[in-house]
Amino acid sequence: METIQNITRPRDTILKLLIEQSGCFVPGELLTGATRLSRAGVWKHIHYLRHQGFGITASIKKGYCLTEIPDRLFPALIQTGLETKIVAREVYYFESIDSTNRIAKQYAAEAVTDGTVVIAEEQTRGKGRMNRDWVSPQYSNILCSVIFYPPMPTSKVFRLTMLASIAVVRTLAAVCGVAASIKWPNDVYINGKKVCGILTEFFADHDSIKYAVVGIGLNVNIDIAHYPAIAGSATSLLQVCGHRVSRLTVFKNLAKQIDSLYQELLSTDGEDLQKEWQRHSMVCNRQVSIVSGEKIMRGTARGITRDGHLVLIDEQGELHEIVCGDLSLNLSEQ
């Protein structure tokens, strides 16, 4: 963790100071003073930021002036004007990483702040449920993992998945005016195609959650047509809205929604969360099949419990609570 902080902290400090004074010159001495770097050290970071698409004018006499901001997910950009209490107060950023969930679990075990976010521009081994891959080209989508330390028994851990899917639905409505729906257990769909997947992983001691990592992959600007393997089943905001969407705006709103839902989760019995999930559900009262290991169950999905289990009435009229599985909608239903 130390090495990551050493690389990104000074860069973030420089960026924060440039953002604060956006459009004005920031004296070089202010940047060297704040980062404890030499002039050459500061210059190296300026060079990197320019390479990332930031417009930065340099003047020997006046210092540096920020003129243009690219759609990158740097902590300094995320945290400017961020409306959260808990989520993303601490952010670890990677241009490329194997999986944000993997590294987030490592950080979580070392005890970071509740709500810490790990975010990446690219994953080389992005993980989906059931060991599937999660495909995402660099600088296109949102790939993040949020670390939580909820004082809760393990039986409630999937409330975090519910919370994340509701947050995504709220964000898509607020930022893009798009109506999305939730497919149990962890997907968000628009017009029948998957736009977001959520992977919650956790570590428990006896019956209580030590930490949970909620990984979110949200397709923003990926051109799905270039990915034949998922073109039939997935979509992106680019495809739905017909134009590129600012990932930074989407992520900041998402962090805000997760933040308020997490506070609600910690202070209530989960009934409102359950109701909101059911309002956005695309499976309630539909004929479904659920594959769980070797078992297949068929029936009508009735809803979800407060702990995220699917309530299903099978063909014999018997009621079941299903904890996990792969759900498909029965397309032949009327």
> Which residues in this chain contact ligand BTN in the complex, by CB under 6 A?
99-101, 123, 126-129, 132, 134, 143-145, 186-187, 197-199, 215-217
- In the numeric block, which tokens belong to residue 241? 């809205």
Q: Given the complex with ligand BTN, which of 197 and 299 has the nearer CB atom?
A: 197
DSSP state, residue 97: B
With b for 16 or more beta-carbon neighbours within 10 A and e for fewer, the 132-153 pattern comes to eebbbeebbbbbbbbbbbbebe
Cis peptide before 70 (omega within 30 of 0): no
Q: Given the complex with ligand BTN, which of 129 and 244 has the nearer CB atom?
A: 129
Q: Given the complex with ligand BTN, which of 69 and 216 has the nearer CB atom?
A: 216
Contact 114, 87 (CB under 8 A): no
Contact 126, 209 (CB under 8 A): no
Instruction: Point out the residue whose Cβ comes nearest to ligand BTN.
Output: 197
Q: Which residues contact 328 (CB under 8 A, 6 or more apart)?
A: 288, 289, 290, 291
Min dist. Cβ of residue 293 to ligand BTN (A): 17
Min dist. Cβ of residue 190 to ligand BTN (A): 14
- In the numeric block, which tokens belong to residue 33? 């003073």
Min dist. Cβ of residue 275 to ligand BTN (A): 24
Min dist. Cβ of residue 30 to ligand BTN (A): 36
- Structural element, H or E, at residue 194: strand 193-205
Min dist. Cβ of residue 61 to ligand BTN (A): 45
- Structural element, H or E, at residue 124: none
Q: Given the complex with ligand BTN, which of 314 and 326 has the nearer CB atom?
A: 326
Q: Given the complex with ligand BTN, which of 153 and 192 has the nearer CB atom?
A: 192
Q: Given the complex with ligand BTN, which of 49 and 112 has the nearer CB atom?
A: 112
Q: Given the complex with ligand BTN, which of 168 and 245 has the nearer CB atom?
A: 168
DSSP state, residue 61: T
C-alpha torsion 214→215→221→226, nearest 10 = -150
Min dist. Cβ of residue 136 to ligand BTN (A): 7
Min dist. Cβ of residue 236 to ligand BTN (A): 14
Is 147 strand, coil or helix? strand
- Structural element, H or E, at residue 165: helix 159-176
